[in-house]
Structure 1
Amino acid sequence: MADEAAPCQKATYLTEKRSADFNEKIHADDIALEEEQENSPIEAVRLVVPITDDPTLPVVTFRFWLLSFLFTALGATIQQYYFFRSTSGAFSIFFVNLVTFSLGKGLARIMPTAKITLFGQDLSLNPGPFNIKEHALIGIAVSTGASAAYAIDILSATDIFLDYRINFLGSMIIIITTQCCGYGMAGLLRKYLVYPAEMVWWSNLVQVVFYNTLHNTDQFQKIRLIRGWSSMKFFWIVVSITFIYQFIPQWVAPVLIYFDWICWIKPFDMNFWALFSSMSGAGIGSLSFDWTSIGGATMWLPLSAQLCSLSGIIFNYWIIFPILWMNNVLGMKTIGRPLTSRLFTDDGVFFDINKSLTDKYELDEEKYDKGPPANMAPMYALGFMTSFIALAGCCSHVFFFHGKEIWAQWKTAFGSEKEDIHTKMMKVYPEVPQLWYGVFYVIMAILACIGCEFYGTQLPWWGLLLALALGFVLTLPIGVMNAVTGYGPGLNVITELVIGYILPGKPIANMTFKCYGYMAMYMCNALMSDLKLGHYMKIPPRSMFVGQFWGTIVGAFFNYITMILIIDSQRDALSKKKPDPNGLWTGQRVETFWGSGLIYGALGPARMFSFHAKYWFVYIGFLIGFIAPGLIWLLSKKFPKYDWAKVNIAIFAGGMGAFPNGYSVGVLPSLFVALTSQWYIATYKKEFWKKYVFILSAALDTGAAFTGLVIFLFLGGGISPKLAVKIPSWWGNHVTEEGTNAPFYQVNRCGAFKQQWQSGTEL
């Protein structure tokens, strides 16, 4: 009987189990249907952002403090390093996410569960498995601080060109407040630019997919690439290969960075040098075999945007530039330096502004009027014009092509009482009171006023408040454009123009005003984008507050330390007192910032750009920027089968002003990589593109960044000159020393020694 009863009991059990499973499935379907009805109204968000959450997951853990510190410090150092280099590099957030994922998992396995007291709070060294929220907050903290702070421009310019170094305390106040004033604004504006569903902040969707792929499924570990490699193995192999390869162009043979093969036909002809040299001229047809001059973003940025930008570069530097040069327009040949932000006299001699400044670094108009007037290189003046085209063109393009959509979304976002599902889900967490952000903003503003008043910035406290007010007023509309369209204009040119009229003759004040006005808007937008990522990932708001501020502080410290090390070890190359023979170190970015401060600050826009002045034409940029998108919009109505919205005059103008520092490298290689990845592979090898593009891009950028860091810290003598290792002189890096009669002076073999040309100098 027992044997007969067992099957009956088993059958009853299975029936009950199936019934329970069925009821559970019906219940789950009901929940899913309800959630589907309440999901985001934005289709892309519905597809990639889960509407699930686990409020019990720990976020601000010991692993967070440790890993965010290490990678923010590393990223801030690398980005600041590239700020002073002739080629640019990137500290890939994909690299950060991949490596911190592995390290976080490893720490979860090996760390003890003991508790420590940190900032007055008991903190477990190992609160459990490394989770998705903890991981995302590490990435957010790193992205907040792992950059080259804009305030470094002010500190570097005064140090290099005025021999005036602001001390550590003053420097840290300026760096931190320029970053954090925008943070306070972001908190105050998050109700309008983060909470509404229509404020998407599109770049975050990629990060959401990435984090959820790593943590929520085994798909990432199951993916097999070439030769059956896992994604992680593929990543590290590409990193290693790139790391080794990059030593060739970056250290052994810098000629591969500036492969100006056309110029070699007539290397001692001044016209060939100006048109074909990528180190000092237009770089027409130049090649580069250095990955940092190309960048991983060319593999995945929208092709239409890249083509607009590259078309702007080619139009300005390959067409307009030769016309101006060959006809000596505005004394371009007389100046003799096609791309430079420096000022010159009428006879082409460098204009030394220090001779016309007072002891307080203000313009002495009487001294200035007694000497020859200052002149800009025509291409630099044209750069201001293209900046105005880009700013006006952005607003006009959005108005014509996206105006109705943005207005409808604006009314929905601000007029609707219905909350986004993700905003509802975030209500389970204590919110950061508006008062916190308000007090934080006021404290940062007060510290900024102290920094301006006591550390020789020439900007009075009321000027600082005006800069913050200008940034605050313009942040909301620009933030809406960024959140909805993914693009928004900058305020750097407008801010220096405004303060140039209010406080003429004060170059440091101009730079400081621009920095605070521009950064208030820029950092506010960047931090609101991160707040939206936290919103999507369901990270508690107060944890976000801690993470963003922590990243900013760590990044500011390492920005400053790196800047001091580089300036002290490479001062002559950065100040142009002695050229860097290999063309790797440049103060051009600082010089551009300083040159702009001289033009708008010391000399003033009224003197340089008024209608009776030499460079009156720059204001035409506003007119072109406003009108051109309207004409393109009319074409879209006349020929509707073409996607005219992709013809973006703002991006085109941005390309026109891409190389004010005179290092026009990477145009053709970038075009080749963009077309190969974004057109051919994405069109004809779609699955291959999806599988490889992001991880390959991240690996290439990561390997190149590590090479640059190793060269700087060790082989280049960044830590100590005693550690420097110099490659013996050979064809790939040879540059003649002063006093010799050898013909070459630049590593790209294009340019005569001591400007002693054989031909091409006729005016």
Structure 2
Amino acid sequence: MEQPQNDAGVSFSSQPEKLEPDSHNVEISDEVNDSPIEEVRLTVSIKDNPTLPCLTFRTWFLGITACATLAFLNQFFGFRQNSLSLTSVSAQIVVLPLGKFMAAVLPKKAVRLPGTKWSFSLNPGPFNLKEHVLITIFANAGSSGVYAIDIVTIIMAFYHRHIHPLAAMLLTLTTQLLGYGWAGIFRKFLVDSPYMWWPANLVQVSLFRALHEEEVRPKRGLTRLQFFLVVLISSFAYYVVPNYLFPSITALSFVCWIWKDSVTAQIIGSGRSGLGIGSFALDWATVASFNGSPLAYPGFAIINVTVGFFLTLYVLIPITYWTNTFEAKRFPIISLHIFDANGHKYNVGLVLNETNFEFNQQGYDDYSKVHLSIFFAFAYGLSFATLAATVSHVALFYGRIIWQQTKTAFRDKFDDVHTRLMKKNYEAVPQWWFYLLMLIMTGLAVVACEGFGGQLQLPYWGVILAIGLVLFFLLPIGVLTATTNQQPGLNVISELIIGYMYPGRPLANVVFKTYSYVNLVQAINFLSDFKLGHYMKIPPKSMFIVQLVGTVVASSVYFGTAWWLLTSVDNICDPSKLPVGSQWTCPGYDVFYHASIIWGVVGPLRMFGRLGLYAKMNYLFLIGILAPVPVWILSRVFPEKKWISLINMPIIINGAGNMLQATAVNYICWITVGVFFNIYVYRRYKSWWARHNYILSAGLDAGVAFMAILCYFTLQIRDINGMRWWGLELDDHCPLARCPTAPGIQVEDCPVFR
């Protein structure tokens, strides 16, 4: 297929062309015996064997074991200074030989359940692909984390207050499961539709096929499995260098090494705390750790992210910083901390009344307003614009096709080859399953918030409002995620809404945020897993059961592990009271704690309202709504120029959105790798790309994960961190990049400008 090009001759993925909002698209797919999306045609098999057993003893045993193990390890390490996050890719690879071993040694004789007519076989035959997929879905549930644990942690370890364990458990369970009910309502649009293709799933599809399908080795080449093993071993062997021997190569900022005494040069050159000009890394984890593997993103999405990143970081931020907008020079150019007017970190204790757990107005008036770094301020503002632009973009570009698909969904006319196979061979999940789950979880959520003496502070109407936000945003954000692999969150907008409506209550704020943000994330995860099952031809009822059980198991293990540690480790999360060298410092949880102060105690009225310093950021809501309009108009005026419809304003606006967690060097490396493989290689060497691209991504990820686990359990857990030298520091050696440049501001370890 000829790839659409822009005026510079750059080739993008043709996916948006296939999503052209034309009702004819829905009708003509009957004539094509495959997916209308080229990347899917190149990756996903159109064959199915409905006789393969799925919910076998091996599936349950290995799946629940993998789920519980990943949940325990991720939560256990999440409280430690050297935190470690294990993904489902690790389990996906480990369970394959275990499954084959069980198939070889378990007896094949049927086992009858005592007192019933039910029987099952411990060994129904060779370990098969569908069992492997369902076990991986179990592992996904165990590796994805439980956001509600952050609330339990800040209540017990930061606010030093009591919470009833049943309230905490209900909060954990309902936040993880409520989104599944809403996802069921939209599965017709976001799973059955062939135009919702979920790019990230293609990595796992490729790996499953490489691990299970027999393949003849090409002459002077490698099979996909052999290629995967070569990449896995290479990535595993190399990662000992950036992970243990030479961590400094995760961010190399040579500008700082040249101008060692210049604050401005280090701000410009630092890849971790500055603009990152000239910085780079020699580490796959730096490339993929925050934004995900760039090999899993469509080419047009990478270009949009690139444009947004450069406009934000190299145009907007420098202009506003060096013109001293919002007194930006008093603070670091990029920082996630909050500051007082003198450039020092904000003393939260002066504005929070610890006895009644409410905002201290007198202390706030006597102390200082809350100040943010210029990047942090615009990160909030651009998140406002991103959500508004997402709704506007989907309504304009996909409104007609969504309406056509709505009518088609009711007639069950979605009919690419994968949907036809699923409808022919398997029974769909009854819709009432989703409605029942939704009603039960909503009721339990209200009980968790209103019961137990109102410990969580959020009234019942807050739960209903949070659910309403999810219902409103799920379809537009689902469309964006399913077509571009970009997923805006509801965390900031939900904090803003409840902060205005119910100020001065930090727990109500974070609970409301969790019920909106996490329910949307869980709904998206549910739909993504369902699409993976759709591609792999897994019976929908088996998928639903595994996702439901996996989430219950994972939530229980996460909660149990966290409660055990919070009640058994003295002074957990308080470095000032912990013994020297203690690992129980809870990195990351303090950010969640400070967010509860900013939005729940101080409140958005004193941040982005008439009493705050950043009220002008609200104009970005209007800018976000209007931003897609010119692009849509141009695409209608010049329909022959297909590259216009590739311009995605929500992605551009949110281009640097992940820099709240990531850094400039993460983005620079991500963009470089993504452009090379998913634009240059995809265009020039499409046969190689189709065969190897997603396998390469899976191999690199797995190698990094296994070496990180090995290093941690053999060396780092024993505080054996190698010889002390310049390259051992997990830093880019740009200390002055964190300094303010305003005259007279005195900050420790920074020069004072006159």
1:307 equivalenced with 2:333 (yes/no)? no
Aligned to 2:380: 384
Aligned to 2:14: none
Letter in 1 for 2:348: I
1:180 equivalenced with 2:177 (yes/no)? yes
Q: Give the alignment of 1:77-96 within 5 angstroms.
A: 96=91
Give the superposition deviation at 1:550: 2.4
Distance 1:87 1:340, change over 3 A: farther
Give the superposition deviation at 1:591: 4.4
Task: Work out the CA distance in 1 between the residues paired with 2:585 and 2:276.
Answer: 17
Aligned to 2:720: 725
1:395 to 391, 394, 400: 391
Q: Give the alignment of 1:149-188 within 5 angstroms.
A: 149-158=146-155, 161-163=158-160, 170-188=167-185
Deviation string for 1:362-396 (max 9, x for gaps)? Answer: 32334333432222222211111110121122222
Could you say what secondary structure the match of 2:131 adopts?
helix
Deviation string for 1:282-321 (max 9, x for gaps)? Answer: 3332222221110272234222212322332233223333
Task: Work out the CA distance in 1 between the residues paired with 2:326 and 2:448.
Answer: 40
Give the superposition deviation at 1:540: 3.4
1:750 equivalenced with 2:724 (yes/no)? no
Aligned to 1:762: 753
Aligned to 2:527: 528
Task: Work out the CA distance in 2 between the residues paired with 1:331 and 1:576.
Answer: 32
Kept in 1, the 8 Å contact 2:203–2:695? The answer is: no
Aligned to 2:134: 137
Q: Give the alignment of 1:413-428 within 5 angstroms.
A: 413-414=409-410, 416=411, 418=413, 420=415, 422=419, 426=423
Task: Work out the CA distance in 1 between the residues paired with 2:392 and 2:338.
Answer: 33
Aligned to 2:669: 669
Task: Work out the CA distance in 1 between the residues paired with 2:572 and 2:228.
Answer: 36
Q: Give the alignment of 1:47-66 within 5 angstroms.
A: 54-66=49-61
1:236 equivalenced with 2:229 (yes/no)? yes
1:546 equivalenced with 2:545 (yes/no)? yes
Aligned to 2:7: none
Distance 1:749 1:249, change over 3 A: farther
Total equivalences in the alignment: 706
Identity %: 35
Aligned to 1:246: 239
Kept in 1, the 8 Å contact 2:333–2:373? The answer is: yes
Give the superposition deviation at 1:441: 2.6
Deviation string for 1:231-283 (max 9, x for gaps)? Answer: 43443343233223222222222221221211112223333333332333333
1:352 equivalenced with 2:347 (yes/no)? yes
Kept in 2, the 8 Å contact 1:592–1:660? The answer is: no
Distance 1:651 1:252, change over 3 A: same
Task: Work out the CA distance in 1 between the residues paired with 2:162 and 2:243.
Answer: 30
Task: Work out the CA distance in 1 between the residues paired with 2:142 and 2:487.
Answer: 21
Task: Work out the CA distance in 2 between the residues paired with 1:666 and 1:572.
Answer: 34
Could you say what secondary structure the match of 1:609 adopts?
coil
Task: Work out the CA distance in 2 between the residues paired with 1:274 and 1:637.
Answer: 43
Task: Work out the CA distance in 1 between the residues paired with 2:285 and 2:72.
Answer: 16
Task: Work out the CA distance in 2 between the residues paired with 1:594 and 1:548.
Answer: 30
Q: Give the alignment of 1:583-598 within 5 angstroms.
A: 589-598=588-597
Aligned to 1:279: 272
Kept in 1, the 8 Å contact 2:297–2:484? The answer is: no
Aligned to 2:630: 631
Q: Give the alignment of 1:508-587 within 5 angstroms.
A: 508-560=507-559
Kept in 1, the 8 Å contact 2:266–2:734? The answer is: no
Aligned to 1:709: 709
Kept in 2, the 8 Å contact 1:505–1:602? The answer is: yes
Give the superposition deviation at 1:103: 3.5
Task: Work out the CA distance in 1 between the residues paired with 2:704 and 2:575.
Answer: 26
Letter in 2 for 1:391: L
Letter in 2 for 1:688: W
Aligned to 1:32: none
Could you say what secondary structure the match of 1:285 adopts?
coil
Letter in 2 for 1:447: L
Distance 1:417 1:148, change over 3 A: closer
Aligned to 1:334: 330
Deviation string for 1:107-131 (max 9, x for gaps)? Answer: 2122222556789964422111223
Give the superposition deviation at 1:84: 7.9
Give the superposition deviation at 1:471: 1.8
Kept in 2, the 8 Å contact 1:181–1:520? The answer is: yes
Give the superposition deviation at 1:54: 5.0
Task: Work out the CA distance in 2 between the residues paired with 1:50 and 1:684.
Answer: 23
Task: Work out the CA distance in 2 between the residues paired with 1:170 and 1:148.
Answer: 19
Distance 1:696 1:568, change over 3 A: farther
Kept in 2, the 8 Å contact 1:86–1:663? The answer is: no
Letter in 2 for 1:260: S
Distance 1:51 1:635, change over 3 A: closer
Aligned to 1:459: 458
CA RMSD of aligned residues (A): 4.2
Aligned to 1:255: 248
Aligned to 1:31: none
1:72 equivalenced with 2:67 (yes/no)? yes
Could you say what secondary structure the match of 1:666 adopts?
helix
2:287 to 294, 307, 317: 294
Task: Work out the CA distance in 2 between the residues paired with 1:615 and 1:417.
Answer: 49
Could you say what secondary structure the match of 1:675 adopts?
helix
Kept in 2, the 8 Å contact 1:339–1:661? The answer is: no
Kept in 1, the 8 Å contact 2:189–2:405? The answer is: no
Task: Work out the CA distance in 1 between the residues paired with 2:554 and 2:426.
Answer: 28
Letter in 2 for 1:179: Q
1:444 to 437, 441, 444: 441
Letter in 2 for 1:129: P
Task: Work out the CA distance in 2 between the residues paired with 1:409 and 1:68.
Answer: 35
Give the superposition deviation at 1:43: 6.8
Distance 1:75 1:292, change over 3 A: farther
Task: Work out the CA distance in 1 between the residues paired with 2:80 and 2:732.
Answer: 15
Letter in 2 for 1:318: Y
Give the superposition deviation at 1:755: 5.3
TM-score, structure 1 length as denominator?
Answer: 0.80
Give the superposition deviation at 1:601: 1.8
Give the superposition deviation at 1:505: 0.9
1:407 to 403, 409, 412: 403
Give the superposition deviation at 1:615: 0.4
Distance 1:292 1:246, change over 3 A: same
1:649 equivalenced with 2:649 (yes/no)? yes
Letter in 2 for 1:762: F
Task: Work out the CA distance in 2 between the residues paired with 1:213 and 1:152.
Answer: 36
Gaps of at least 5 residues in structure 2 are: 1-28, 740-745
1:372 to 343, 368, 373: 368
